[in-house]
Structure 1
Amino acid sequence: MIRVCQVLHGIVGGGSEQVVLNYCSRMHDIHFDLLYQYEPNPQILERFREAGINCIQIPDKVHHPLKHLWTMFRIFRNGNYDVVHSHLDWFMNSYVCFLAMLAGVKKRIAHHHQAYTVSQPSRSGCNVTPDLFRGGIAYSIKTTLCSVMRIPCKLFATHWLACGEAAAINGWGANTVKTGKVTILPNAIDPERFKFCESVRREIRVKYGITDDDFVIGHVGRFFPEKNHKFIVELFSEYSQNHSNCKLLLVGNGPLQTEIQNQVKQKGIEGRVIFAGLQKDVVGFYSAMDVLLLPSTREAFPMTLIEAQYTGLPCIVSSAVPKETAITDCVFQLPIENAKPWCEMLSSLNLAVDRRNPQIKSERFDIWKCYGMLESLYQVV
């Protein structure tokens, strides 16, 4: 049996983890181990175990760097792995692949899931992807740094993957992508799981005190700066001044949650904002919503957007969201310079959407049509 070791930062409900779970849970003839560093969320960890994936926690690289490296190397050396598949970002896949190479693992996959820089920021500030640096000179420094950091990844990894075109260009370089050396592996989902369900919609709304007449504006994502929760609260506060029957439903957790909760209190909208927390399964929450907001400051490939579209949910997203992820006609892209256009879009949103039959224009994110690509990569010697 082929043995594969997946490497993640943690098991806390992030997109990379969901990608691993979606793909690996369908490959029953392959043994999977998964290395992670940080304290896991028990609910998410249980989902991996239910899928038959053996999860191993190792010392984290921040507090125990030497022990982290030695433990990882020892596991690679003793695990008889055919493949090591690393999902770390900001080019940290390089050290994982290096340790795997030293341990004698022949197939080493570096998988890029983020897009830290795609195009140079415009003077107007539109379509900017703010992250580690800002401004013209800083942008040049960042671009150079990315180019340098790609070198060890390319040296130590035998296969180069990315979740989308933006992540591929950022992780491996535009010229490398053009030559076809990078495999784009979509962040695919199971469409059957994300079908709209009226009974689940009603159940969740009742649980959180949402009436049938309430217009529910939703967001699914970790409370991290790039998800832009401050912007969501700002625009909802403005929108709710003229719309009494609306609620904001926030699904997820993270380090900025307390800060966002304080912002909600300062705005005086506590009674209209629901913090649902991290959920083991978010499927039903899409059914409970009426529109999804995704005002991310940077986004390589938002699985949330794909999932929402399969439930027939209209989505308003930022200009940082890759256009390739719009697989229905119900995705509307806006800049995040101010909240007013978003409020106007919400006010004018009057779509006759058949939630039970979303008009999906592409099947490229259907896991049943995608997982064979990765399975073949694992199997080919």
Structure 2
Amino acid sequence: MKNNMFERFFDMGKIKVMQIMPEFGLAGAEIMVENLSVALAKDGFEICIVSLYDYHSAITERLEKQNIPIIYLGKKKGIDISIFYKLYKILRKEKPDVIHTHLYILPYVIPVALLAKVKVKVHTIHNVAKNEVGKWQRKINRFFYKYCRVIPVSISPLVKKSVIEEYGFEENQVPMIFNGIDLNKYIQKNDYTNKGIINILHIGRFSEQKNHAGLLESFKIVHENVPNTKLRLIGLGNLEKVIKNKVKDLNLDGCVEFLGLKADVYPYLNEADIFILPSLWEGMPITLIEAMATGLPIVATAVGGVPDMIKDNKTGLLVDTNNAQIAEALQKLIKDTNLRKEIGNAAKSTSEQFSVEKMEEQYAKLYKGFI
């Protein structure tokens, strides 16, 4: 009887979900929101997206082509009090059943969501808890979780553990849902033989977290031992100029290529021979799933949720954040084409657990359960 009543309730009309983001740069959390929103819309949910800033990107273009509306609030840098009023007006007008927030915007959203009487408030934590936001915002977030019924969703077992420890939750209070991608979009890698230059690919913004400086130090060791190697970097960021200067200082000008931001990374993944993720900390990097889905052999630092995704010497090589270790792992893959093929194929098979369909199904169940 309860199940029939539950089904009849949802047959009465679409569930309206509002995804709220700071902006839509080409990064992991933003790609996750895009993938989830498109999948939810296909599953019959009514989707609306709010972006605090006016920034447009390939992601916003793709979403709008899918007829998913995006409302831009024109936020100014720093604290912008006007955002509270703008958000309140939107929530009163749109009347979402669920708001789903990401990254650092809980202090803007939750006060007005309470005033607008939004019943279900979900927040995905995209990084280990202590690295998601600063110390003072974590105190504010703790209040929202405890007293305002905000549901914290972690993206990996290790992130979940960090959220429990940071905010004092019980195990069953923190849902865990892996990020997901559309596995059908990726160009599968089939050729693992050495043909001239060995291309090593990194995708990520130029920031301290992504550890480009350490990557260059590692690559210098590799390139001195294996001259027919090239490092290709996709991304932008505030440390890009610093990293370009470091390339010159290390005399790597001819073998490090800055590709900028790419709306479509699939061809570059397919062209690469090895994928490298040398981050100092991570949650559950979308780029890692993309490399796995392509079938690339991977070298990654064992930080954050990465060991939940990669099994050492099976679906990738895990290393410490140590330049010499990173270089050694890269050279191991460069020299052994059979190992590259074996690890790449295993990574491809493992990537199936990170499908957008599985992610959407779990979030849909979560929304309905709390409604």
Q: 1: distance between equivalents of 2:35 and 2:66?
A: 9
Q: 1: distance between equivalents of 2:262 and 2:128?
A: 26
Aligned partner of 1:343 in structure 2 is 327
Shift of 1:64: 5.4
Q: Which stretch of structure 1 is more off in the superposition, 256-265 or 56-65?
A: 56-65
CA gap of 1:110–1:321, structure 2 versus 1, over 3 A, is: closer
Query: Residue type of the partner of 2:202?
Result: H
Q: 1: distance between equivalents of 2:329 and 2:208?
A: 23
Q: Does 1:163 find its partner at 2:163?
A: no
- SS, match of residue 184 in structure 1: coil
CA gap of 1:176–1:93, structure 2 versus 1, over 3 A, is: same
Q: 1: distance between equivalents of 2:33 and 2:128?
A: 19
Q: 1: distance between equivalents of 2:150 and 2:144?
A: 11
Q: 1: distance between equivalents of 2:68 and 2:318?
A: 37
Q: Does 1:47 find its partner at 2:32?
A: no
Aligned partner of 1:274 in structure 2 is 257
Q: 2: distance between equivalents of 1:305 and 1:343?
A: 19
Q: After superposition, give the CA deviation of every residue in 1:155-183 in whole Å (9 maximum; x if it has no partner).
A: 22342212122333334537855431111
CA gap of 1:297–1:377, structure 2 versus 1, over 3 A, is: same
TM-score w.r.t. length of structure 2 = 0.84
CA gap of 1:113–1:157, structure 2 versus 1, over 3 A, is: farther
Q: How does 1:155-304 map to 2 (within 5 A)?
A: 155-173=147-165, 178-197=170-189, 212-304=195-287
Which structure: greater helix fraction?
Answer: 2
Q: 1: distance between equivalents of 2:140 and 2:54?
A: 32
Aligned-residue CA RMSD (Å)? 2.8
- Number of matched residues? 347
Asked whether the equivalents of residues 168 and 177 of structure 1 are also in contact (C-alpha less than 8 Å), the reply is no
Shift of 1:39: 4.4
Aligned partner of 1:137 in structure 2 is none
Query: Residue type of the partner of 1:5?
Result: M
Aligned partner of 1:112 in structure 2 is 125
Aligned partner of 1:100 in structure 2 is 113
Q: Does 1:17 find its partner at 2:17?
A: no
Q: Which stretch of structure 1 is more off in the superposition, 273-282 or 145-154?
A: 145-154
Structure 1, unmatched stretches of 5+, are: 118-128, 134-141, 202-210
Shift of 1:215: 0.5
Q: 2: distance between equivalents of 1:74 and 1:259?
A: 42
Q: Identify the match of residue 84 of structure 1 among 91, 99, 106.
A: 99
Q: Identify the match of residue 49 of structure 2 among 18, 31, 34.
A: 34
CA gap of 1:172–1:40, structure 2 versus 1, over 3 A, is: farther
Asked whether the equivalents of residues 54 and 73 of structure 2 are also in contact (C-alpha less than 8 Å), the reply is no
Shift of 1:66: 0.9
